[in-house]
Amino acid sequence: MIRVFFVFGTRPEAIKMAPVILAMRKRPRLVPILCVTSQHREMLQDVLRIFRIEPDHDLQIMNLDQSLFDITRLTLERIERILIAEEPDITLVQGDTTTTFAGALASYYLRIPVGHIEAGLRTDDKYRPFPEEINRRLTTCLADIHFAPTVWAKERLLKENVPAERIAVTGNTVVDALTIVLERTKNDPVLKEGLESRFPFVNDRDKKLILVTAHRRENFGKNLGSICFALREIARRGEKRVEIIFPVHPNPKVREPVREALQDVKTIHLIEPLDYMSFVFLMNRCDLILTDSGGIQEEAPSVGKPVFVMRDKTERPEVLQTGIAKLVGTEPDRIISELISWLESQERPIRESLQPNPFGDGRASERILSIIEEEIRPK
């Protein structure tokens, strides 16, 4: 039996870990041990509920207005005794959060092999995204198996002298998760009806629906104010042509300035953070996505929706090559110009991806588990 220790703490990590955990249930040689840090408690719990996952350990590190120092320190302090007690044969971490780095570092201290899911993403700017770029680079230094989502990611790892035999191109597990949820909503008429009644404006085809997310640390402050200014202007100019739905992140540094700037605009719907099922539903029904998220760049090609990325750089250049995504930065004039141009275009919104999703085919989880069974020997 191979004991596989999962550690994750945020909603994006949980979404991308969930299909791996579910696939592992069909492999009797693999024993999952699930540890969450609860870096994002409420949003994490929603994902666990949707995928019917119950953690074995919860570090409960979340505090009001916590800092990166708090997350790193508390994770290292609280995970040590669990790793010692569980004696896993490998630790799996995902992506680029502070939980990812701290989990990999703790495992390294105890000489436990580390598998890094979604390895090799880079912007070459240590402050964009912050702190994710450095988290993923440090995790690369600690990892023993690198599960690269794409050939581009593999090439970046090779340039950093990661041995080729320690890298596997698997696809991104977010495509696996998206496929699971889309199938569930498609095959459950009661669920579908409930979602449509919750968001009735998705059926108003006289207006274009723009789905907005913004939560990156590097966009706190001035950049977030610029984004809000741009949204107000788009709502004003396109009052009869557009509806904007904006699930507002619970972080006070996002929630408070967004509500102050936009709560009085009638065509902008500021709503509470959505569970993953509801978000996938809106993503599938909207006409355009305006975001600073990384994961959405990976999901959008599977639902064929154009994405304007409110960042100056992306560690996912593959999505730019598909033509479905465009970098628009955070300057209000640029965002307004791009959105107005899109609104005034006579072309219908993209309904289907023009080419396969470069981030995977929905079978990344199975590839990862096959590699673990081949490479890891139980103690």
- The catalytic site residues sit at 96, 118, 132, 215, 217, 249
**CA angle (325, 345, 348) in 5-degree steps:** 75
Q: Which amino acid is at 225?
A: G
Task: Tell me if 274 sits within 8 A of 47, measured CB to CB.
Answer: no
Question: Could you give the CA distance from residue 319 to residue 354 in angstroms, rounded to a whole number?
Answer: 12
Paired tokens of 191? 């669920």
Question: Could you give the CA distance from residue 152 to residue 286 in angstroms, rounded to a whole number?
Answer: 29
Q: Provide the 10 A C-beta neighbour count for residue 366.
A: 18
Q: How far is CA 372 from CA 31, 201, 261, 307, 379, in A?
A: 12, 45, 49, 34, 14
Paired tokens of 139? 């995790």
Helix (H, G, I), strand (E, B) or coil at 310: coil
The DSSP annotation for 313-370 comes to --S-HHHHHTTSEEE--S-HHHHHHHHHHHHH--SPPP-S-SS--TT--S-HHHHHHH
Question: Could you give the CA distance from residue 343 to residue 94 in angstroms, rounded to a whole number?
Answer: 37
> How do strand 242-247 and strand 268-271 relate by DSSP bridges?
parallel
How is the beta sheet containing 167-169 ordered, strand by strand? 57-58, 30-36, 2-8, 90-94, 114-117, 145-148, 167-169
Looking at residue 171, what DSSP letter applies?
-
Task: Tell me if 286 sits within 8 A of 245, measured CB to CB.
Answer: yes
Looking at residue 249, what DSSP letter applies?
P
